[in-house]
A and B are shown apart, each in its own frame.
Chain A
Amino acid sequence: MTRLRPQPAERIDRSKPISFSFDGKQVDAFEGDTIASALLASGRKVMARSFKYHRPRGELGGAAGSGTALVQVGDEPGVRAAARLVVPGLRVEHQNAWPSLDFDVMRATDKFGGPFTPVGFYYKTFIRPRRMWPVYERVLRKAAGLGRLPARQHERLWETEYRRRHCDVLVIGGGLAGLSAALRAARMGADVVLCDEDVEPGGALLAEGRHEHVRARADEARAAGVEILAGAPALGYFDGLVPIWQGDTLHQVRARQFVSATGALEQPLVFLDNDLPGIMLAGGARRMAALYGVAPGTTAVVATVGDEGLEAALGLHAAGIRIAAVADLRPDAAARPAAERLVAAGVELLPATTVVRARGNSAVERVVLARIDGAGRALPGSARELHCDLLAVSGGLVPASSLLLQAGARSHHDAATGRFLPGALPPGVHAAGAVAGHPAGAAELAGTAAGASAAVALGLGGQKARRELQEARALLDACEPAAPQAPVPACAHDGRGGGKAFVDLDEDVTVKDVRRAADEGFDVIELAKRYTTVTMGPTQGRYSQLPSVRVLADHTGRSLADVGLTTARPPWSTVPLGALAGRPIEAAKRSALHARHRELGATVRWAGDWRRAYDYGDPEAEALAVQETAGAIDVSTLGKLLLRGPDAGELLDRLYPNRMSTLRPGRIRYGVLLSEMGRITDDGTVCRLDDETFYVTTTSAGAAAVERWFSWWLTDWGLDARLTDVTQGTAAINLAGPKARDVLAAVTPLDCSNAAFEYLEAKHAEVAGVPCLLLRIGFVGEVGYEIHCAAPQAQRVWDALFEAGAAHGLRPFGLEPQRILRLQKLHVLIGQDTDSESTPYGAGMDWTVKLDKPQDFIGRWALEHAAERDPAHALVGFSVPGGRIPHEGAVVTVGGMPAGQVTSARRSPKLEQTIGMAWVPHELAHDGARLTISDAGTSFDAVVTTKPFYDPEGAVLRS
């Protein structure tokens, strides 16, 4: 164990020891530890193997956003060891190493150089031969894996909670600046949410001796009503929407004002073998010591280019870690106040010196410090080798401005401070603290000003607040700017061979790779990024932005400002795909009778959103039964609308091309719906229940669209009627066939005789004791009754019908036999036999259009034009003498040229021939015309029919 004595700010509870397993071995920890802190405390430095070269890697950043130590936790791959809290019994394993973490055979790709080294190698090598790619891919995927998912889909259980939160102000980042902004805005009356990726708000100051102050601030913010989401990284900025991932919840936060207080990211230094475990960011090492009481090493060397490293060295020293030396690249480093304190504490300070090489087998054991020339090469005679097991590096700061850049800000290089800073911010977006380049001492002031400007922008606070805001801004402007950053070499080295200098530890991209990319022409940072994948790894360039820019600038002879920063794309923090992809989708719809269909052995298929019974095993026998005895089909999927009000008839007259307002109560009329251009969009029946109430049915697929169409016109015209969609709550059964009347009569007190209940009449009656609406209509061509009832009672009606129907040969029939039956009657199936160009005239449905009615109706103008000439194509029936059944979509040819197409075709068991419908040229649209159908490479003849094949006069229907 390498625990330090208790630290004042620490998060762990030393009175609560817990244990978990890493690669099967027990690891002891305390409550409050992260996986990374517990592993470090147990003495383990190697936590992962790198993605490409399988080099040993440890924890670099020591913060939630760090991505060098990715581990597998149970079935969950890619977990950041420094972000995940340990719980008792947690099962943690390494990733990407075989056979073990400490001995990985794939390390050969690194040790022996070989073919895997150069950048662009994959693009250039594995492209040929093309057919071999699947083989290469399998091998490469395995070699460069980053964890594993359960192989079987059903084992990938993922449940994500979704929460939508609308607030006045969203503050991202819970450091002192963020907390101050949230507190200020909340006190001015705003509804504020604050999120932070760490397990508690507080930010950098928690580990810098000011934990009491920031924790008090967080308590004040909570008390002021700020909703604080901890352990909750913001994933991106999408046009005002910020998704925040917390545990298993995706908060979709939309705020009227945004404050980014995301701080700045300390950058690593680039030198030879700078990726050895035991090399940490200085701030990260300090966090490990201060927050978890862990010594990342017993003897440390600190290498820095600014005051941040000096401060961290002081912190490590105070925590009880021996500091062998502090190397500061700045020649005047000794004059810095922090340096003076270090020297006073007895620490050796080496100005104008940096680290050029790290040595060690699987973790750092020695480092080489040297003075360097302008190209980063060690000056002769200046090198000094020191023993240490921790190298803390600090290579300058980059503002964590990704979210601001995603929101539309542009980053620029500030010559005065030598830093990249976000430029002008879009409206409603504010920045405070280190992300905006404010000096550390002004965090509170900057946050307060940002919170106040957000609140003022919301119209809160009044005149006094505006004055205070101006004062705060003036104070902020008067602050001394952050200390200038010294120029840092792209890569420090000792001029000898051996070793790799990494620019990006996530993606295993070296200095050499970036230089090679520039040499090959990818010399713009955005191109170099895409070619080398630098900054595109799991941390989205958190710890590689500045190093990659420095290398490219150095190699192409440009300034940092000219090279510029790349925009880190969302997700800014890793998030399981399941959280994004697993969004709820439309549920399949099943009728209230679905269980009955299953019991009857139905073939169930998708029909739009619905799961429907296609047949019950023998569609032809089912169709025959309807024509010879009786059949029942579940038509609950039909759209069903109730329209009620004084203007109900007026609305229908304006939407249907025939007269609906003249219907008498208890009567039914068929109608089509048209677009403004006279094209058929849907069809169904309209039944008048009483003077002011109509019951409208639509096609199954068109239900939602018709509902929207009706309600839209109702609103636009301002008519006095109410529309209620009763589709889901109402079931419907169509009972049809010569024996249908006998079956129905057995279960209802209603007089079902033809005289008492005529064709196209509607009656309210009880069926099996259930109140039903009965519509006498006949889509399948036989005497038929559509029985509508409340969905929960549908099974009772169904069961009663089949009990009574047993003696009459009643059979259930599905969608497929229904299609055979309606084809015999040449009933047009909207969307199957028609398309977006079909008018009622072309479809042979002239009878549905009453141009002589007084009202204007949707589609009338187009139909008046259409009525002036014969349609070019017509929808007709056909039969095939040879019995061939053409595919739907088969081509109708005239003189060898395509001239039309088949829309439906079936074998009719009753007629014992192939029948169908097709669009044909107008001159062929007469009885007896010969058609040629070309289908699947062969041609055959068919004969046109314009009258229904079965019961053309409708005598059966009316009987």
Chain B
Amino acid sequence: MSFLLTCPNCGVREVADFGFGGEVSPRPASRPESLRALAASAYFRRNVAGVQREWWVHRSGCGQWFLAERDTRTNDVKWTARPDEAPAATREPVRA
């Protein structure tokens, strides 16, 4: 895997400069009913083949956490932004 990402602070860098934080998977607003439901929210991810919103951190740079939308099939990065500047949720991820 090798591509470029734009850190909202530092600009364009190689992907190796960044840490991956996984797909955005909001924490439930309240305690899930069962332990199983809690475990599912903690561990299960959609893992789409398509565009997903995900977390990245500029590990070898400023340390900023930011959001990105990336096509997991092509590593084509649509945008990156701080959470407070991120576009509203786009269309549902494509399932292959």
Contacts and interface: CB of A to CB of B under 8 A. Distances in A.
Contacts of B95: none
A11 to B, nearest CB: 36
B14 interface: yes
Contacts of B65: 711-712, 715-716
Contacts, number: 56
Contacts of B79: none
Interface string B15-43: 00001010000010001100100110111
Contacts of B31: 860-861, 864
Contacts of A711: 57, 63, 65
B90 interface: no
A676 B38 CA distance: 9
B88 interface: no
**B-side interface mostly:** mixed
B38 A718 contact: no
Given A164-B14, A861-B31, A241 B2 contact: yes
A166 interface: yes
B83 interface: yes
A927 to B, nearest CB: 31
B35 A708 contact: no
A95 to B, nearest CB: 34
Nearest to B29: A856
Interface in B60-85: 63-66, 75, 82-84
A240 B2 contact: yes
Contact of A862 (B35, B55, B66): B35
A762 to B, nearest CB: 26
Contacts of B75: 239-240
A239 B38 contact: no
A21 interface: no
B55 A712 contact: yes
Contact of A865 (B38, B55, B66): B38
Interface string A219-257: 000000000000000000011110000000000101000
A716 B83 contact: yes
A166 B12 contact: yes
B11 to A, nearest CB: 10
A675 interface: yes
Nearest to B42: A676
Interface string A686-718: 000000000000000000000110011001101
A708 B14 CA distance: 19
Nearest to A865: B35
Contact of B38 (A166, A252, A254, A862): A862
A675 B42 contact: yes
Nearest to B17: A164
B57 A861 contact: no
B61 to A, nearest CB: 13
Nearest to A715: B65
A677 interface: yes
Contacts of A718: 83-84
Contacts of A676: 27, 38, 41-42
A723 to B, nearest CB: 8
Interface in A496-536: none
Contact of A861 (B12, B21, B38, B84): B38
Nearest to A583: B16
A164 B14 CA distance: 8
Nearest to B1: A239
Contacts of B4: 166, 254
B65 to A, nearest CB: 4
Contact of B42 (A164, A677, A707, A864): A677
Contacts of A716: 65, 83
Given A166-B4, A676-B27, A862-B38, A254 B32 contact: no
Given A239-B3, A711-B57, A711-B65, A252 B42 contact: no
Contact of B14 (A252, A707, A715, A864): A252
Contacts of B3: 239-240, 254
Nearest to B75: A239
Nearest to A679: B42
Contacts of A860: 31
Contacts of B32: 861
Contacts of A864: 31
A717 to B, nearest CB: 9
A343 B53 CA distance: 70
20 contacts: A166-B12, A239-B2, A241-B2, A675-B42, A676-B38, A676-B42, A677-B38, A677-B39, A708-B57, A708-B59, A711-B63, A712-B55, A715-B64, A715-B83, A716-B65, A718-B84, A860-B31, A861-B31, A864-B31, A865-B35
Given A252-B14, A716-B65, 8 more contacts: A240-B2, A241-B2, A254-B14, A677-B39, A677-B42, A708-B19, A711-B57, A715-B66
> Which A-B residue pairs are the 3 nearest by beta carbons?
A715-B65, A676-B42, A861-B31
